[in-house]
């Protein structure tokens, strides 16, 4: 803590006596030969003692029995978290013990708490403040919105404890982030690009980061992030605990994932890559030019319920949202061409239920937890097959029901096949004329192999074009 006294202040000048960068504005010790008095010593030690002596609630819950610190566990019931979900049950004990872990579980099954709760438990055992510019734990996420959501979750789990989180993402002031990092932080939640920027400015020092979490790990290991991740990983101590979580983990990625882990526990709830169990899925075959009208038909049947519509391009998504607005829908759009302010307002309005339809690119595919989302429409099929599972996973969160309809144009049959292959199951047809090529695949049992829906599809012959309904069947 005495190190703080010799650190420069925000203007770069040496700190003056009494100027304190930490919370509370207590007098600082003079550097050099100044001898600390008993009063000084008491002041210096106080935060640390407070840290350790804070009353630990005397509670016994399923989470405390798994080793979660009671100061964290006490925050869970008010959030509706009473008993651990399967991934939490499988992952938490190993993480509390200090093991590296690869955790795979379907969307909406509580992976954030599966890494957040044991990580906070371990941090609470340290009992010291972080040093300037450092963070004890680093959580990396692929999008700004997801980083924000994780930060909010960590705040909620850690309420009433001395643990502090800070979020650094693009689109926000880098100077503010630089200044905040001067104090150091317990948990840093970041998107990789902005973290690299801060490291290059000398604002973040990862040499003491003993915990690394990659949320949406397969996307973080993907080509768009891997270079940044490699640079970041080199700066972290070798002796650290690394946790990787996702709902999907393609085989190729799994090998790469292993290079970040030491003697990891592998925890998988259900075979990885499957859609959440309670999502009622369907594919509707439709010509590209008829998709907007079809979407409007579906939306009209559930005007009061929240729906996310996924488009492939920023431009296409923007155009679609404008069209829906013209047709009288309360709609907002979120994609890479929007400013950060617009993105945040769009999401806030949607979370609050003020806008009922959110048109989004894959920027909203991963991790976002908006429990009221009842419908997901894949207006365009994703070209990364795993993203289908993540997109539809924006509905049916934490055991709720949800529906997901994929609009498949004749040119998208290849994407549909790739998605079904990745999920190892067929998506039931709910409307439109099955193109000849797709019908043939379906008659053979499809690329899906022996998945549950695949078996279903074999029993039920593929819908013939002549018998296909003209409008939506199930909505």
Residue 110 interacts with Mg ion (CB under 5 A)? Answer: no
Of 85 and 134, the one with the shorter C-beta distance to ligand ATP is 85
| Cα separation values, 243 from 99, 114, 321, Å | 9, 10, 37
Site for Mg ion in 155-214 (CB under 5 A): none
Picked from Mg ion, ligand ATP, none, the partner binding residue 209 (CB below 5 to 8 A depending on kind) is none
- Tokens, residue 430: 């709910």
Assess contact for 309 and 364: CB atoms under 8 A: no
Which x/- pattern, by CB under 6 A, does the window 337-376 give for ligand ATP?
Answer: ------------------------------x-x-x-----
- At closest approach, how far in Å is the CB of 81 from ligand ATP? 4
Sequence length of the chain is 475
**Pick from 15, 44, 90, 111: which binds Mg ion (CB under 5 A)?**
111
Residue 113 interacts with ligand ATP (CB under 6 A)? Answer: yes
Which x/- pattern, by CB under 5 A, does the window 68-107 give for Mg ion?
Answer: ----------------------------------------
Of 115 and 285, the one with the shorter C-beta distance to ligand ATP is 115
User: What is the C-alpha separation between 400 and 444, in angstroms, rounded?
Assistant: 33
Of 76 and 324, the one with the shorter C-beta distance to ligand ATP is 76
What DSSP line would sit under 333-354, residue for residue?
EESTTS-HHHHHHHHHHHHTTS
User: What is the C-alpha separation between 66 and 63, in angstroms, rounded?
Assistant: 5
Strand segments (E) across 141-253: 165-168, 185-190, 211-215, 241-246
**Helix (H/G/I), strand (E/B), else coil: 379:** coil
Q: Can you say whether the dihedral through the CA atoms of 256, 92, 369, 301 is positive or negative? A: positive
Of 213 and 286, the one with the shorter C-beta distance to Mg ion is 213
- Tokens, residue 423: 């999920």
Sheet containing strand 185-190, strands side by side: 165-168, 185-190, 135-140, 211-215, 241-246, 101-104, 265-268
**DSSP letter assigned to residue 205:** B
Residue 88 interacts with ligand ATP (CB under 6 A)? Answer: yes
Picked from ligand ATP, Mg ion, none, the partner binding residue 81 (CB below 5 to 8 A depending on kind) is ligand ATP
Of 80 and 289, the one with the shorter C-beta distance to Mg ion is 80
**Helix (H/G/I), strand (E/B), else coil: 376:** strand
Residue 244 interacts with ligand ATP (CB under 6 A)? Answer: no
Q: Is 55 exposed, middle or buried (0-12, 13-18, 19+ CB in 10 A)?
A: exposed
- At closest approach, how far in Å is the CB of 215 from ligand ATP? 7
Of 393 and 454, the one with the shorter C-beta distance to ligand ATP is 393
Picked from ligand ATP, Mg ion, none, the partner binding residue 108 (CB below 5 to 8 A depending on kind) is ligand ATP
Residues that bind ligand ATP (CB under 6 A): 79-81, 84-85, 88, 105, 107-113, 247, 367, 369, 371, 393, 397-398
Residues that bind Mg ion in the complex, under the rule CB under 5 A: 111, 367
């Amino acid at each position: 803590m005495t190190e703080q006294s010799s650190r420069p202040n925000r203007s770069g000048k040496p700190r003056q006596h009494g100027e304190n960068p930490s919370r509370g504005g207590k007098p600082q010790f003079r550097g050099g030969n100044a001898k600390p008095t008993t009063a000084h010593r008491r002041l210096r030690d106080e935060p640390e003692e407070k840290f350790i002596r804070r009353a630990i609630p005397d509670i016994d819950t399923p989470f405390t029995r798994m080793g979660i610190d009671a100061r964290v566990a006490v925050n869970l019931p008010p959030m509706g978290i009473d008993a651990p979900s399967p991934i939490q049950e499988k992952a938490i004990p190993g993480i509390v013990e200090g093991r590296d872990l690869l955790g795979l579980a379907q969307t909406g099954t509580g992976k954030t708490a599966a890494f957040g709760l044991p990580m906070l438990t371990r941090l609470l055992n340290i009992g010291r403040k972080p040093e300037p510019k450092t963070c004890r734990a680093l959580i990396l996420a692929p999008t700004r919105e997801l980083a924000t959501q994780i930060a909010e979750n960590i705040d909620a789990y850690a309420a009433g404890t001395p643990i502090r989180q800070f979020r650094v993402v693009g689109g926000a002031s880098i100077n503010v982030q630089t200044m905040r990092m001067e104090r150091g932080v317990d948990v840093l939640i970041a998107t990789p690009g902005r973290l690299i920027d801060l490291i290059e400015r000398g604002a973040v020092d990862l040499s003491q980061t003993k915990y690394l979490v990659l949320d949406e790990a397969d996307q973080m290991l993907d080509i768009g992030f891997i270079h940044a991740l490699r640079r970041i990983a080199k700066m972290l101590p070798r002796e650290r605990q690394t946790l990787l979580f996702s709902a999907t983990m393609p085989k190729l990625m799994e090998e790469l994932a292993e290079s970040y882990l030491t003697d990891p526990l592998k925890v998988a709830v259900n075979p990885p890559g499957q859609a959440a169990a309670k999502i009622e899925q369907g594919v509707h075959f439709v010509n590209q030019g008829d998709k907007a009208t079809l979407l409007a038909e579906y939306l009209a049947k559930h005007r009061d319920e929240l729906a996310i519509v996924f488009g492939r391009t920023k431009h296409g998504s923007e155009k679609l949202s404008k069209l829906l607005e013209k047709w009288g829908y309360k709609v907002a759009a979120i994609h890479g061409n929007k400013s950060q302010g617009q993105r945040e307002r769009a999401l806030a309005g949607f979370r609050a239920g003020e806008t009922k339809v959110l048109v989004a690119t894959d920027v909203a595919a991963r991790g976002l937890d908006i429990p009221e989302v009842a419908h997901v429409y894949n207006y365009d099929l994703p070209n990364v097959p795993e993203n289908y599972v993540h997109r539809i996973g924006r509905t049916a969160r934490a055991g709720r029901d949800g529906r997901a309809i994929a609009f498949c144009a004749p040119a998208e049959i290849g994407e549909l096949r790739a998605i079904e292959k990745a999920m190892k199951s067929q998506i039931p047809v709910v409307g439109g004329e099955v193109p000849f090529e797709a019908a043939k695949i379906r008659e053979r049992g499809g690329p899906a192999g022996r998945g549950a829906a695949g078996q279903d599809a074999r029993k039920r012959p593929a819908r013939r074009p002549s018998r296909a309904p003209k409008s939506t069947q199930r909505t």
